Chains A and B, each alone.
Chain A
């Protein structure tokens, strides 16, 4: 027991491989390059949001307004593109995402409201605002299908869909930020022991504000991906995104206590969730039951987190 200990990343990789093998053997049409590509493409939007979500949870913050933020950003992007031009549309989409992060930062950092409350309000309000902008309709967009349609041949061998490439770039950037920079180290310190972080001179408010700005940029990137893949902005754009990203982050090993976990764990968890989702669809499970399954996965992730934390504590006390 003592000599053999699997790390969190290895455990998640094993789970991913195991479920891929199980579903390949039991589910028709699951095994195959085309379906695997589908799974990863579907995972990539969640993955882009899950990276900054990992950073936030590591520092004991949370943003549950991201799905609605994508809806508002998409609405601004598509409506302004329709009325003016693509460039103005893109600028409007980014402005909407930054506007939301400014509100979050203002309330959390300056008014000291808990981030879960601020972003819960945002979850409702920003989707409402998106519906106002869209006038309750779905609006289509022309000339923005590159991300959704194209694949890039890497080394002339493997045609990789653009969303997957975007996800990988975002993942690498966040891996680098959290692993190699002062900023990343400070965020782990803030999550593990906020008081000692403050006493050592780390400016907690500034660091957390930066994380929400990074989230705004990720929201904008996710928006351009979603809009390109669906061809529309609708009142339901980005729905459940906060939930999926959060499930992935917790299942990925960050946990609600903060101070630990990596984007690699999150990335594996995003893939695990996408595989399960895909298999449920292929097996023809009723969509209501798919929702039940997703919710159950979040509960399982939280229970898993509690258990692993309890184990850590007993180790520290020398039991």
Chain B
């Protein structure tokens, strides 16, 4: 396996909150274009792991490599600049903003020339690029200029994921993308994930409680338990019940 194909490499990652160990010696790799599921019970360390990679939590020790280079993220902005986008469970959207404003949140486009000095927004250009991104992933919205507070949970999730795919050069992290969604909405979210993989050749790391959902879209499954990575499984080699027994700890050698 050449290092060139490795998008993300996590090496011996540890995170303690005081005496509480959230992550202990976690190591794994994600290949280019690979969709990896991260599963585990509540408190297994899934969110902490994603936050470490996304730059919103700083690990106690360990190394993270992105496209072969060692990275040290102290802020979410640094991770975004490096090409890692994260879609958080609580949907980091601003309710009172429309799709294009949310898509460009924190990375607004300024007009050219002297206007740049004052940071004057180029709303037209932002709207144009937003529409293009929406079309690219074939996401459907009744009104692309509506504020996201008027949208359903599934539509909001797709807005958040479109933002991730739009900016993510290397890796997209999805935290519980189908949590709290209905059957139909979950289906359309999973379709969008499929499109990300086929169209953008993106690497994805998906946290989920719902093994059923991730099973459809993932290539590989990482299982966390008590802060330890207890299994790293190729989907085609295992059955769902194997994975469940890893999650619950029933699987022991």
Contacts and interface: CB of A to CB of B under 8 A. Distances in A.
A187 to B, nearest CB: 11
A192 B107 contact: no
Contact of B80 (A197, A200, A259): A200
Interface string A300-311: 000000000000
Nearest to B108: A182
Contact of A180 (B92, B94, B95, B121): B121
A260 B96 CA distance: 8
B77 A192 contact: no
B135 interface: no
Nearest to B149: A316
B107 A197 contact: no
A283 B72 CA distance: 68
A54 to B, nearest CB: 15
Contacts of B101: 185
Contacts of A199: 54, 56, 76, 86, 88, 92
B119 interface: yes
Contacts of A186: 106, 108
B76 A182 contact: no
B174 to A, nearest CB: 14
Interface string A178-201: 001111011011001101111111
A192 B118 CA distance: 23
A19 to B, nearest CB: 29
Contacts of B119: 181-183
Interface string A255-297: 0000110000000000000000000000000000000000000
B66 to A, nearest CB: 16
A203 interface: yes
A259 B94 CA distance: 9
Given A196-B92, A200-B106, A180 B120 contact: yes
B194 to A, nearest CB: 25
A186 B77 CA distance: 14
Interface in B98-114: 101, 105-108, 110
B60 interface: no
A202 interface: yes
B216 interface: no
Contact of B94 (A189, A201, A316): A189
A185 B96 contact: no
A181 to B, nearest CB: 5
B118 A196 contact: no
B97 A189 contact: yes
A185 B119 CA distance: 10
Given A180-B121, A199-B56, A199-B86, A192 B97 contact: yes
Contacts of B56: 198-199
Interface in B115-157: 118-121, 149-150
Nearest to A260: B96
A196 B105 contact: yes
B93 interface: yes
Contacts of A316: 95, 149-150
User: Which 8 interchain pairs have the tightest Cβ spacing?
Assistant: A201-B77, A200-B106, A196-B92, A182-B119, A201-B106, A200-B105, A182-B108, A192-B94
Given A181-B121, A193-B92, 14 more contacts: A182-B120, A186-B106, A189-B97, A193-B95, A195-B92, A199-B54, A199-B56, A199-B86, A200-B76, A200-B105, A201-B81, A201-B106, A202-B77, A316-B95
